[in-house]
Structure 1
Amino acid sequence: MGQLSDRKCQTAKPGDKVVKLSDGNGLQLWVMPTGAKLWRLAYRYDAKQKLLAIGAYPTLSLASARGKRDDARKLLADGKDPNAQKKLDKAARITANANTFSALADDYLAKMKRSQRAETTISKVGWLLNHARPSIGSRPISEIEPVEVLAVLQPIEAAGKLETASRVRETIGTVFRHAIQTARAKADPTQALRGAIATPKAKPRAAITEPVAFGGLLRAIDGFVGQPTTKCALQLAALLACRPGELRHAAWVEFDMEGCVWSIPAERMKMRRPHRVPLPTQAIAILKALHLITGHRAAGLVLPGLRSAHRPISENTMNGALRRLGYSQDEATAHGFRSTFSTLANESGKWNPDAIERHLAHIESNDVRRAYARGEHWEERVQLMAWWADYCDALRLGGKVLRFKAAV
């Protein structure tokens, strides 16, 4: 039973030497000559007498000091040295404080760069993570609770930005999984938030897939009055059915005009694989005309922006041009040219669907099928793109549109 009381602790007076007041089971209150009162625990471990500093009185009360004494005794019963455990706990706290959410987020972005992910992808991930930094950026990642992440998401949801809220949750989750993989966290709190915020309704990118209407869009692009680079970008997007980002960041060194091939390096592809695009004669003509405008600039970009030759035009530039042509975001987008090409090429029944998918640089979702579908279908793709360019010409000129028969 304890020998000390709060009254004794409060009234204990200092002397010329340290005054040691025992509470039992090794717990002592040391009254220093300066008047300071310190809790100490005397114990034996590995046949040696040791001393554990517990805290200062009255910051640490008598009851709390007894609790810490009991915790230390439990460690001794388990064969552990309380002093060694104290050092381990301190090191863990230092590590936890260093491994904040922002630190892990920066580490994850650095990993993306080492993995040669596209700069646009890294930039988007960084933008999404910035939504979380003000609230949880300075928090040790191993201590963050689901309710803290929810507090990040709810204002975004309340603003009606459901897609952004969903992507922020997913991106925060990738940082936690990175922390788990590097032994700096044990759990991902975003998993507990599935269904906690409203789910955005899936909305495919707008695209014109009706031949006559697509011909009207092509004529509208030909009549575009604005920057010639923007006009060429839309024309090439329609002819080549490439991702807008792949086209916007294209460099002249990637184009073999004589061989009629555009070779896109892996680091600029969504699936991180190099990709070749056959260039029909119509695309070559546009590129040659464009080369007279941008081909001699130092940065070497095919479609440099107006403000800097070292930065390409933005996707908003292409979509903005479509808006100026009278097409709303629900009718046509720069990315929608891919859907137009896929739909009309497949409906023609003339081409192997695998060749169409390979041109679009899609990855087969079926593992077994993907293992066997390794070919590029290059020769067929060359013919496919020549047919597509000629078909676009016919639609642009308002020629007779023949309805395709369903493929058998």
Structure 2
Amino acid sequence: MRRGLAAPLLAALMAAAHPIGAAAQPAGETAPATTPGAACAARFQVPADRLARLARGYNLTGWIDVRDEREPDAELLQALRRAGMTHVRLPVPAEDLMPAFATAERTAARLRAIAAVLDRMIALDTAVVLDLHPGGDLARLYAEAPDAALGEILAAWDRLIPLVAARPAGLVFPELLNEPPTTPERWDGDARRIAAHLRAALPDHTLVIGPAGPQRVEPLMGRPPVEDANTVQAIHFYDPMAFTHQGATWMGDDPHAALAEVPFPAAPGDPALRQALAGMRLIGRPDAADLLARSYEAPWDAARIAAVFRDVSVWSARTGLPVVVGEFGVLRFAAPPADRAAWIRAVREAAEAACIGWTHWEFRDGFGLVDPRTGAPEPAVMDALGMK
């Protein structure tokens, strides 16, 4: 949900009673990692060590998913690993790997960059969710010619498969497609075809699969999952968007862009919420005030977030499929900093209590855990994420 709506796994967590285990030592240093509790791991056929890898992570944006690549500082990546981050989710520009949209030279350059990043992160003992991340071109093709869009997705994976196959199955997790830009009904069939295609070439790798659209919780639990036990189901969580996306400048005249100082937690009638509503009306944005009022018709607090994740945990236990929050975060532009940290903490704690791993959105831009002004992780965000 980063940009305009926007993204794993699970397990980890051990309930508070479970001790944190020691991980491998990247670059000669100890890197703590969370290990799945026995009750969590026993639910699933995905190996427990892989679920532990997918327990805590962040979306490594702004490196190979932009034209002007910004390589992260090596010491920063290592420090995040030592702090307890066990994986990254690496958005890969899908169209750069698709014959309909990219030259052979562009695709070759992109593949070299992806291979280099994979090796860099593996050397740091950090797992990678390889996220095929589409843009507007694929969305338009899906609307006009869905069979052709599926063909381009399969072609992109044919280019990525050799990179994945050459690296440890426990450290690279192919994610079929970020926020699939098609209908749930269409994606039901396409996801099965893509998963089968990948499984034939990658028999041991754990696949990451999300529902269509913005990967909300509701379609995950409302559609039949892909019948492959070695998969992780990925959801994105940004509720309420009036809080997490306040000040979203890229959204133009959308009322979310006008919102500011929206609180969390909050309930109807709270002074801070009334003040935010009054502010929207004062600047002539009744549409933003109406959006905010609708969003907070019932309280938004840690208890409500925990209830959502308990429902997901029940679904996960029933289906035997682990779940990861592939994206969650709060835009820093207009949210009160303490409230931003409180929301991040609430989601992280709710996910962990439900045997669900998480991947913070994102690295160092608007939603980032790294402050772009200083180049260092924000202490309040790291604390909210339970990181040292």
Band the TM-score falls in, shorter-chain normalisation: under 0.3
Higher relative contact order, structure no. (Cα contacts within 8 Å, ≥ 6 residues apart):
2
Calculate the TM-score normalised by the size of structure 2.
0.22
